Amino acid sequence: MADEQKPPAPPEAPKPEAKPPEAAKPAAPPPPPPPNPAEKHPFYLKVKEAFPDAVVEGKLSKDCLFITVKKDALLDVCRFLRNDAAMQFNYLSFVAGAHYPARKDAPFECVYGLYSVGLWHSLHLRVRLADGETAPSVTGIWPAADWHEREAYDLYGIRFDGHPALKRILLPDWWEGHPLRKDYPLTGPDEAGIIDTIFKEAAGDEDFGPGAGARGW
């Protein structure tokens, strides 16, 4: 409203009190890096004890423990985690791929989410991979890894040694490239070419129809 009264002026802020004079600082050496809480985690200690050379790094994020291990030791670590009486990681929640282009020497990563049905605890393993480097398949340890590794292959192009049928799982078989890589164009490749393929696939009966998806198994 036009005739609205202006609010009264705010009372003057009280003057800040004079700061106490700062104590003269001695030239102290930089503090040591804070201790890594992951390195006190019982699971970390246990893995480190069993595989002293395989553990690269431990990280505690909220309640999730991440242990980065060397690729060559992955299968042994996994078998240990599944079979050890105190661990019993008998359930593989997921296998995820990841791409860190800034990390030049090993831009790719696989993350394995483990859970123990029975002991109710979880753990995450990470493996760093160079571009084009293959990871060992854990399908022999947890059969659940089958489709998860196919997904990581489909979207990141990470290949897994020893996988029973490493082929695309989400994208069509004719797809080119791996879309979750950071250098992949967001809106995808040439749309006209894809629509051409769609028309061909809809018209022909070679690679489409009942049972087509199961071919090659």
* Residues making contact with another protein (CB under 8 A): 170-172, 175, 179, 184-189, 191, 194-195, 198-199, 201-203, 208
Half-sphere CA count of 34, side-chain side, radius 13 A? 4
Report the residue number, 54 or 154, with the smaller CB distance to another protein.
154
Report the residue number, 58 or 97, with the smaller CB distance to another protein.
97
Report the residue number, 40 or 200, with the smaller CB distance to another protein.
200
Q: State the Cα–Cα distance between residues 217 and 205, nearest whole angstrom.
A: 19
Residue 151 Cβ vs another protein, minimum distance, rounded to whole Å: 13
Report the residue number, 86 or 212, with the smaller CB distance to another protein.
212
Distance of CA 50 to the CA centre of its chain: 24
Residue 210 Cβ vs another protein, minimum distance, rounded to whole Å: 12
Cβ pair 68, 58 in contact under 8 A: yes
Q: State the Cα–Cα distance between residues 34 and 31, nearest whole angstrom.
A: 8
Burial group, residue 127, by CB count within 10 angstroms (0-12, 13-18, 19+): buried
One-letter identity of residue 75: L
Among 158, 155, 159, 194, smallest CA distance to 178 is for 155
Cβ pair 97, 71 in contact under 8 A: no
Report the residue number, 106 or 180, with the smaller CB distance to another protein.
180
User: Encoding tokens for residue 22?
Assistant: 């700062």
Residue 51 Cβ vs another protein, minimum distance, rounded to whole Å: 39
Residue 141 Cβ vs another protein, minimum distance, rounded to whole Å: 31
Q: What does the CA dihedral 102, 139, 164, 149 come to, rounded to 10 degrees?
A: -30
Report the residue number, 161 or 173, with the smaller CB distance to another protein.
173
Residue 201 Cβ vs another protein, minimum distance, rounded to whole Å: 4
Residue 170 Cβ vs another protein, minimum distance, rounded to whole Å: 8
